[in-house]
Structure 1
Amino acid sequence: MSEDAEPMVCATCGRLPEEESAARLTWARGREGDRVVWTCEECSRRHLRSIEGKLDSAWW
C-alpha cells in the first residue's frame, strides 16, 4: 500500500488540509514506527521544540 493512499490528517488535532498539494509544502511529515504521520502548520509551530527533539508525540 502506498503512503499516498492514506489521506493527510494532522496527527495532533485531526485537521484536514484545504488543499493537499499546498499542505505538502507546509505540513510536517514524520514516522512513528511503520506509519507516516502528518502535523499541520499550526501544531508544528506549537510543538516545534518537541518535534526537533524527536520526542514521541505522546509526550506533547
Structure 2
Amino acid sequence: MDQHAEATGRTPDDERLVCARCGATADGPRPTWTFSMEDGRRRYFCDSCSREHLRAIEGRLDSSWW
C-alpha cells in the first residue's frame, strides 16, 4: 500500500476505500466501516475487522496493538 492509500484509505486511481487491516475494498462510503486517526493519518477498517476488534477500537488502542 502506498503512502497516499495508507494516509487516506483511498487509492488515487480508483478512489475506493481500502481496509487498513485486511485490504478489503469498497467502491464508496460504507456505513458499517469505521475509521481511526492514528499518527495524523485516517485509517479505514471494514465491517469484519471492525467487529473482530471492537473492544480494542472502543478502548482507543492503535491498530498496531490489535
Q: Classify the TM-score, shorter chain.
A: 0.7 to 0.9
Aligned match of 1:16 in 9, 25, 48?
A: 25
Unaligned segments of structure 2, at least 5 residues: 1-7, 11-16
**Which residue of the other structure, out of 48, 51, 55, is the alignment partner of 1:49?**
55
- What is the root-mean-square deviation of aligned Cα atoms in Å? 1.5
Higher helix share: 1
Q: Would you say how many aligned residue pairs link Structure 1 and Structure 2?
A: 53
CA distance in 2, matches of 1:6, 1:55: 19
Structure-1 separation of matches of 2:41 and 2:61: 16
Structure 1 segments unaligned to the other structure (5+ residues): none
Q: Flag as ranges the 4+ runs of structure 1 deviating above 6 A.
A: none
Q: Given the superposition, is the C-alpha separation of residues 14 and 6 from structure 1 closer, same or farther in structure 2, using an over 3 Å criterion?
A: closer
- Could you say which structure has the higher strand fraction? 2
* Residues 6-43 of structure 1: per-residue CA shift (max 9 Å, x gap): 512101101101x313x1x1100110111110000000
Distance 1:43 1:31 in 2: 16
Instruction: Return the TM-score normalized by structure 1.
Output: 0.78
- SS in structure 1 opposite 2:18? coil
